[in-house]
Amino acid sequence: MSGQPSMLLVGIGVLSVLSQWLAWQARLPAILFLLAAGVLMGPIAGWLVPDTLFGPLLFPLITLAVAVILFEGGLTLRLEEIRGLEASVRRLLTVGVLITWFISAGAAWLFVSLSWDLAVLFGAITVVTGPTVIVPMLRAIRPTARVASVLRWEGIVIDPIGALLAVLVFEFVASSGGAQSLAETLLSFALTVVTGLVFGVGAGYLWGLILRNYWLADYLYNIATLVAVFVVATLANHVYAESGLLAVTVMGIWLGNMRGVPLEGILNFKESLSLLLISGLFIILAARIEPDRLFELGWGALLLLLSLQFIARPLTVTLATLGSPLTWRERALLAWVAPRGIVAAAVSAVFAMHLAEVGHPQAALLVPLTFLVIVATVVLQSVTARALARVLGVVEPPPRGVLIVGANRVGRALGEALQALDFPVLLVDTNWDNLQEARMLGLAVYYGSPTSEHAERHLSLAGLGQLLAVSPRPDLNRLASLHFAKEFGRNAVFQLPTGAAMRRSSEIRHQHSQDNLLFGFDATYAKLASLLSRGGEIRATQLSEQFGWEEYRRTHAEPTLLFAVDPGGRLLVNQAASPLALQAGWTALSLVAAAEPATETKA
């Protein structure tokens, strides 16, 4: 197999997808499965030898892949979001970064005997946590909303900030390698930074104008932006060596904060591309690990890990949360959870390869040491954090909220009715006009596709336990149901039936419905939207022994039963295949036509 490059490339792609799928199934960070795949193909089986497979193209390919990852991270860094962060998160991203950097660097220099410049670079690399490891861990831990919010925002924002810090430190270390004096070193570093800033700001502004003024055909936006990233990275490196990564990071930040630039399609494309690059890149990097290098680290590596886990993180959280409303139990969980992610692995590989080219004596230790920190933090914290959260009592209570896919007329009406009964709701849509109307009604919203990589990072599911897919697009409803079935459970995801479901109703009415169809076989989006457009309303009715559901139906012309709330406050969804058997003391929510008598309390 080692002699068939095409088979190896296909194998990397297959293992990338398989690793991501296994991570989704196990609710664990994909980085663990990608690492296992790379080690299996490389050091263990000997099938994948990246240096032989790619030859002189390996370093340029990795550099360009990292450039795309850093550019995509820069696109997601919005300055207004940093300004609006709570004090604890701001301190985690400022003071906390410095504390982690200094302690990591000091421990690497003291315990692993890295040279001071490499130790400082390693410390900068390991400040990054990242949403690719935090988000899956949070979904497994399910901590309280305040803890989840702090960890999510830290992971999202520290990704590009930490990468930028690591790039700057690397530029300094690289520029000092061949310098003869401190003045020359500082001058070389300054030229690198200036070159990166000039190219990044200039390219970001120019490309923003091109996109904002629609000087390109729509179908060229994604591929042209990708090529632009490659061009900027290459030209910046050509003008002054090693300034390319800084240039594309700044370019991404500038584009992400430039007004009027249509970035939605680009973000979706870059997220998918980054996922592919991250997966393939991590397998390739893991295959290059030399087991002997790990043994060279010795017991000092264990002391380094203990320093990160028991000194750097607790000290960071303690100082960052001073004066915050977080309880000591919430702070204790925050002090335990700080896994390192894929960005650290990617940039460490690029830096190590470059430093090896210029003859740095310890460059080969950078990658195995970084991988060791990543694996140790992810495995330790994934295994123990859920139990620790339970012991501390900071696991969120059973969720009552509802995620509604579709902020259309039907979704807004359902959201209003549920929120009136104190059930938290979040509406998701890609139509900004729909979301604007939902916000005017006081409903929480998320703009974007619910199954995108952006949603994986930014869509908070804290307090949400059920899904209602009510988009007019059946394919989106089905996809969302499949996507969130792993998160909420198959019995907690529901979608509207389609016309095809109505035609099949007689065949499957007495069978188990895999689709969990909402309300009734004829309750299609078209029917519900038509009723609402003609003045129909969703009403909440308290049932009793004297006035049950049959009595209610006799006073209304075919009301559509939607939900029921039992005396314990549980929200029960009426399903086409298994209609609710309403009881006295329950509250029924139903959609009634406009001309019906309104003797009940409107929800």
Q: How confident is the model at residue 199 (pLDDT cuts 50, 70, 90)?
A: very high
Q: Which residue has the higher pLDDT, 465 or 26?
A: 465
Residues with Cβ within 8 Å of residue 556, at least 6 apart in sequence: 590, 592, 593, 596, 597
| β partners of residue 494 | 468
pLDDT of the residue at 427: 92
Class of domain 401-602: alpha beta
Tell me: pLDDT of 509 over 70.
Answer: no
pLDDT of the residue at 507: 44
Sequence ranges of the domains in the chain: 5-392, 401-602
pLDDT of the residue at 206: 93
Specify the range with the lowest mean pLDDT, choosing from 180-184, 307-311, 315-319: 180-184
Q: Which residue has the higher pLDDT, 464 or 87?
A: 464
Estimate the crossing angle of helix 264-287 against helix 221-239, to 10 degrees. 60
Pair of tokens at residue 545? 């022994």
What pLDDT digit, counting tens, does each position of 531-568 carry?
A: 888 888 888 888 887 777 777 777 776 788 888 888 87
pLDDT of the residue at 502: 46
Q: How confident is the model at residue 310 (pLDDT cuts 50, 70, 90)?
A: very high
The CATH number of 5-392 is 1.20.1530.20
Q: How confident is the model at residue 320 (pLDDT cuts 50, 70, 90)?
A: confident
Average pLDDT, the chain: 80
Tell me: pLDDT of 584 over 60.
Answer: yes
pLDDT over 90 for what percent of the chain? 5
pLDDT over 70 for what percent of the chain? 87
Distance CA 90, CA 205 (A): 27
pLDDT of the residue at 268: 63
What pLDDT digit, counting tens, does each position of 286-307 carry?
A: 887 777 766 667 788 889 899 9
Average pLDDT of span 177-204: 76
Average pLDDT of span 444-452: 85
Q: How confident is the model at residue 201 (pLDDT cuts 50, 70, 90)?
A: very high
Average pLDDT of span 465-486: 86
| 573 CB-side CA count, 13 A | 23
What pLDDT digit, counting tens, does each position of 380-428 carry?
A: 888 888 889 888 888 877 778 889 998 888 889 899 888 888 888 999 9
Instruction: Label residue 524 left, alpha or beta by phi (over 0 means left) and psi (-120 to 50 means alpha).
Output: beta
Tell me: pLDDT of 267 over 90.
Answer: no
> CB of 163 within 8 A of CB of 70?
yes
Average pLDDT of span 517-523: 82
Tell me: pLDDT of 455 over 60.
Answer: yes
DSSP 220-262: GHHHHHHHHHHHHHHHHHHHSTT-HHHHHHHHHHHHHHSTT--
- Cα separations in angstroms, 272 against 69, 126, 268, 269: 11, 25, 6, 5
Specify the range with the lowest mean pLDDT, choosing from 144-148, 291-295, 515-519, 553-557: 291-295
Specify the range with the lowest mean pLDDT, choosing from 35-44, 141-150, 208-217, 229-238: 141-150
Tell me: pLDDT of 511 over 50.
Answer: no
Distance CA 315, CA 318 (A): 5
Identify the DSSP state of 360: -
Tell me: pLDDT of 83 over 70.
Answer: no
Identify the DSSP state of 298: T
pLDDT of the residue at 566: 83
Tell me: pLDDT of 73 over 50.
Answer: yes
Q: How confident is the model at residue 45 (pLDDT cuts 50, 70, 90)?
A: confident
Specify the range with the lowest mean pLDDT, choosing from 221-235, 311-325, 501-515: 501-515
